């Protein structure tokens, strides 16, 4: 699905009529609530934008058409405009402040790139660029439903949501570090697999009516109280027993490590709440639920992203032998690395697929594989844990009503054809430092 942007006067915008129904069970049905704008096959077509102009503002319309490559595809509709709290809008969750009776003309516009779209917003007198919209819902109550389109956790300027700059500096030991990655045990020569149904993370939604429980530590002492726990929630079946609950009302991500029902209690070795729209970075040297103590949602591939055709954040990976005793912060607040090789990749380091690689020339690379490869080029992949092989992580569908992955042609091997043309980005590019742990 192509990114869609909304331009509006005084932050008044149209919202699509896609319905979003909270599920009190916590089971996610987002795959059935994707934006009605449709799915766009890779590679993306020219960006489509929606523009709302004040009634009768033909001058603005004419000005837009002077920009090279911009086409007005036609008027989409006329409908009441809705005022939306700007801060809530930026976070991707919509609440209705009020709807007035003023009608505006809404147009579909094709722009060749985002820079052109920004130029549109600057040139037209009565148009303001608000930000991306893939779908939206006018929702008059609480709890608020999760966003129904392409949503990502954490702030837009988070290290997770920041693209690698063009011509970014490469780490001076990049070649030797990538060679270590390729040669480590179970690495398949640098070809990535994807953990989906095991050694990954089920994600559950929580709302006002979701049961609240006390989480206990391994020794039976109280860890956290009033934690949302959807009925029937199940952690990943493997030893780490990871699970994540997204509390949409309180805007909190709850992470769990080794979560289980034991002695009539919910117990976890580690439990960590995160600000859903914060930095996504733990205080330094404070443990979280991964070896590097990053959030479980960070870098997780979700079905909505594969359907949409774009992953708008960095991915995460693990491998057998990250460097012992050294880490890159941010984002790695800790490390469980176990290699003493000085060229072992540090947890917290970001690697990038060669951005000049033509993805259409890679044999056997499917649409889903290209989406992942493009993300590797744009955002990169961050080392966060130890594991057999070199897996990426996709959402375990235990938290959904149905498994969406088969219909998307998504399997654990879709990234295998991506050639291992990787390099390590210099830590300073993202304001990070290597430090002992």
- The answer to whether 315 and 422 are in contact (CB under 8 A) is no
**Six-digit token string for 110:** 């094709």
* pLDDT for position 27: 47
- The answer to whether 298 and 153 are in contact (CB under 8 A) is yes
* pLDDT for position 14: 24
* pLDDT for position 109: 59
Residues of the chain with pLDDT under 70: 1-61, 71-149
* pLDDT for position 261: 96
User: Cβ neighbours of residue 407 under 8 Å, at least 6 residues apart?
Assistant: none
pLDDT tens-digit series, residues 23-80: 234 444 433 222 222 232 223 333 444 454 444 456 666 777 777 777 665 544 333 3
Output the CA angle 143-149-151, nearest 5 degrees: 80
* pLDDT for position 176: 98
The verdict on whether omega for the bond into residue 43 sits within 30 degrees of 0, i.e. cis, is yes
Torsion sign across C-alpha atoms 60, 70, 131, 76: positive
* pLDDT for position 38: 29
pLDDT tens-digit series, residues 211-263: 999 999 999 999 999 999 999 999 999 999 999 999 998 899 999 999 999 99
**Greatest Cα-to-Cα distance within the chain, rounded to the nearest angstrom:** 71
CA 51 to chain centre: 26
* pLDDT for position 34: 29
* pLDDT for position 283: 93
* pLDDT for position 340: 96
* pLDDT for position 79: 34
* pLDDT for position 185: 79
Give the three-class secondary structure for 405: coil
């Amino acid at each position: 699905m192509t990114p869609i942007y909304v331009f509006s006067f005084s932050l008044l915008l149209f919202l699509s009529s896609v319905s979003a129904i909270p599920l009190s069970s916590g089971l996610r049905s987002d795959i059935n609530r994707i934006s009605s704008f449709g799915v766009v096959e890779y590679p993306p077509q020219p960006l489509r934008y929606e523009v709302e102009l004040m009634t009768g503002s033909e001058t603005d319309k004419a000005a837009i058409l002077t920009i090279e490559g911009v086409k007005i595809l036609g008027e989409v509709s006329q409908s009441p405009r809705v005022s939306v709290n700007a801060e809530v809008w930026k976070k991707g969750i919509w609440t209705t402040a009020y709807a007035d009776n003023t009608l505006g003309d809404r147009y579909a516009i094709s722009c060749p790139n985002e820079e052109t779209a920004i130029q549109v917003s600057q040139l037209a007198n009565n148009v303001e660029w608000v930000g991306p919209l893939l779908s939206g819902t006018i929702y008059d109550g609480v709890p608020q439903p999760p966003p129904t389109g392409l949503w990502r956790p954490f702030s837009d300027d988070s290290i997770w949501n920041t693209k690698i700059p063009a011509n970014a500096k490469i780490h001076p030991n990049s070649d030797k570090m990538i060679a270590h990655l390729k040669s480590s045990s179970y690495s398949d020569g640098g070809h990535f697999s994807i953990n989906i149904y095991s050694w990954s993370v089920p994600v559950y939604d929580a709302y006002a009516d979701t049961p609240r429980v006390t989480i206990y530590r391994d020794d039976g002492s109280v860890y956290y109280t009033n934690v949302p726990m959807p009925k029937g929630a199940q952690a990943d079946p493997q030893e780490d027993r990871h699970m994540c609950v997204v509390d949409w009302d309180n805007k909190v991500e709850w992470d769990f490590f080794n979560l289980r029902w034991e002695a009539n209690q919910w117990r976890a070795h580690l439990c960590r709440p995160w600000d859903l729209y914060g930095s996504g970075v733990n205080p330094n040297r404070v443990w979280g639920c991964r070896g590097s103590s990053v959030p479980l949602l960070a870098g997780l591939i979700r079905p909505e992203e594969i359907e949409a055709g774009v992953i708008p954040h960095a991915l995460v990976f693990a491998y057998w032998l990250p460097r012992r005793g050294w880490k890159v912060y941010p984002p790695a607040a800790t490390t469980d690395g176990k290699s003493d090789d000085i060229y072992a990749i540090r947890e917290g380091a970001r690697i990038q697929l060669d951005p000049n690689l033509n993805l259409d020339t890679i044999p056997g690379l499917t649409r889903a594989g290209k989406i992942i490869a493009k993300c590797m080029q744009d955002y990169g992949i961050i080392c966060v844990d130890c594991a057999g092989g070199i897996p990426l992580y996709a959402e375990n569908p235990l938290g959904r009503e149905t498994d969406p992955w088969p219909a998307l042609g998504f399997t654990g091997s879709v990234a295998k054809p991506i050639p291992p043309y990787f390099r390590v980005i210099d830590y300073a590019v993202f304001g990070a430092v290597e430090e002992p742990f």
